[in-house]
């Protein structure tokens, strides 16, 4: 069965084509970062205990969920189900459920959107292996599998140095709020997979394949010229310090981090990974990672941020 799934995934990976005749849209208007203090973006770091309480604490340190959600808002949550591998290769279902329940309790109409990568498509097969559809059905939350909605794609014109357009789901483009749930891990090709790289899962599979030809990290960062998340919550209770994205050497930092700034959060995440001795290709200075440098160049984040903590030595 595993071999069949790999062959089927390979068929999709090689056979996916960029759709034609799509509506062309401008990038979503950039919104002010909700989570600032005295004009400086915040990154919260919480030593995780009880999952729900730790999530609430991480968000409260930023200013509270009330700053994000208005009753009736359609909030799309983007987890990381690139493959059917266990956490931290994929988003922990308990973590996702806790976030969804917090958003729902705040009055949001939550959707969970995803498109798996490379040979792990069809996404519905990957998600079924993980038990995600059943979990969301019990919660009454809509699952949006992007590739299963062929009419849901739009072309967003961006002014990148490597990307001129990004084909993304209309369902995400039109959501009132976007919440990202990245894992904390190294990546064998892109070096690092965090908040910035999570946006790859929005890109149409037919367009995604060309990312790997050259300048992968720079292109990964430029996807976010189409839009930026309103809130990012990173599950750093476990992490890969080598390998990735599906399998690697696991450590347990025991952290949950949150921010509205992709660059700031990823830099803090990289600092966590660099505190371990892992066989990886991370630069000693996180600001030198091409993902970070490119995102910063496009003003998708800032160097000037503040870290707020709970339980962190």
Q: pLDDT at position 3, please?
A: 42
Indicate the range of 94-108, 176-190, 204-218, 276-290 predicted with least confidence: 204-218
| Between 5 and 129, the higher pLDDT residue | 129
Rounded Cα distance between 26 and 29, Å, is 8
Rounded Cα distance between 246 and 82, Å, is 8
Find the farthest-apart pair of alpha carbons in the chain and give their distance in angstroms, rounded. Answer: 55
pLDDT, tens digit, for every residue of 152-208?
A: 999 999 999 999 999 999 999 999 999 999 999 999 999 999 999 999 999 999 898
> Smallest Cα–Cα separation from 246: which of 53, 116, 152, 98?
116
Indicate the range of 7-16, 98-107, 174-183, 202-211 predicted with least confidence: 7-16
> Smallest Cα–Cα separation from 251: which of 280, 226, 228, 223?
280
We find that the CATH architecture of domain 2-6+25-310 is: 3-Layer(aba) Sandwich (3.40)
End-to-end Cα separation, the chain, in angstroms = 47
119 band by pLDDT with thresholds 50, 70 and 90: confident
2 band by pLDDT with thresholds 50, 70 and 90: very low
Residue 211: is its pLDDT beyond 50? Answer: yes
Dihedral sign, Cα of residue 242, residue 248, residue 253, residue 255: positive
Rounded Cα distance between 45 and 310, Å, is 6
CA separation, residue 53 to residues 158, 303, 310 (Å): 39, 29, 12
Looking at residue 276, the DSSP 8-state letter turns out to be S
13 band by pLDDT with thresholds 50, 70 and 90: low
Q: pLDDT at position 117, please?
A: 87
Residue 4: is its pLDDT beyond 90? Answer: no
12 band by pLDDT with thresholds 50, 70 and 90: low
Look at the pTM and tell me if it is higher than 0.85: yes
| Between 52 and 18, the higher pLDDT residue | 52
Residue 5: is its pLDDT beyond 70? Answer: no
Q: pLDDT at position 24, please?
A: 97
> Smallest Cα–Cα separation from 124: which of 149, 140, 141, 148?
148
Residue 231: is its pLDDT beyond 60? Answer: yes
Cβ(280)–Cβ(273) under 8 Å?
yes
Q: pLDDT at position 9, please?
A: 58
Q: Before 97, cis peptide (omega within 30)? A: no
């Amino acid at each position: 069965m595993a071999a069949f799934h790999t062959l089927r995934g390979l068929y999709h990976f090689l056979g996916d084509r960029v759709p034609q005749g799509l509506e062309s849209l401008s990038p979503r208007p950039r919104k002010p970062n909700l989570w600032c203090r005295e004009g400086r973006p915040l990154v919260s770091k919480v030593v995780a205990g009880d999952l729900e309480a730790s999530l609430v604490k991480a968000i409260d340190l930023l200013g509270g969920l009330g700053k994000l959600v208005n009753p009736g808002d359609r909030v799309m949550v983007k987890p990381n189900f690139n493959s059917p591998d266990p956490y931290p290769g994929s988003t922990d279902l308990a973590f996702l459920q806790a976030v969804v329940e917090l958003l729902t309790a705040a009055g949001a109409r939550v959707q969970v959107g995803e498109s798996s990568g490379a040979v792990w498509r069809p996404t519905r097969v990957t998600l079924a292996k993980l038990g995600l559809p059943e979990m969301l059905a019990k919660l009454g939350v809509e699952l949006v599998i992007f590739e299963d909605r062929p009419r849901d794609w739009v072309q967003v014109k961006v002014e990148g140095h490597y990307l001129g357009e990004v084909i993304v789901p209309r369902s995400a483009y039109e959501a009132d709020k976007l919440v990202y749930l990245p894992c904390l891990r190294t990546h064998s090709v892109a070096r690092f997979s965090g908040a910035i790289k999570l946006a790859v899962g929005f890109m149409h599979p037919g367009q995604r394949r060309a990312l790997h030809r050259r300048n992968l990290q720079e292109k990964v960062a430029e996807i976010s010229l189409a839009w930026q998340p309103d809130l990012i919550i990173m599950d750093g209770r476990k992490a890969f310090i080598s390998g990735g994205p599906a399998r690697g050497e696991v450590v347990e930092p025991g952290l949950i981090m949150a921010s509205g700034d992709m660059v700031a959060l990823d830099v803090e995440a990289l600092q966590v990974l660099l505190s371990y001795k892992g066989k990886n290709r991370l630069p000693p200075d996180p600001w030198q990672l091409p993902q970070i440098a490119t995102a910063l160049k496009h003003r998708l984040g800032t160097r000037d941020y503040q870290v707020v903590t709970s339980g962190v030595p």
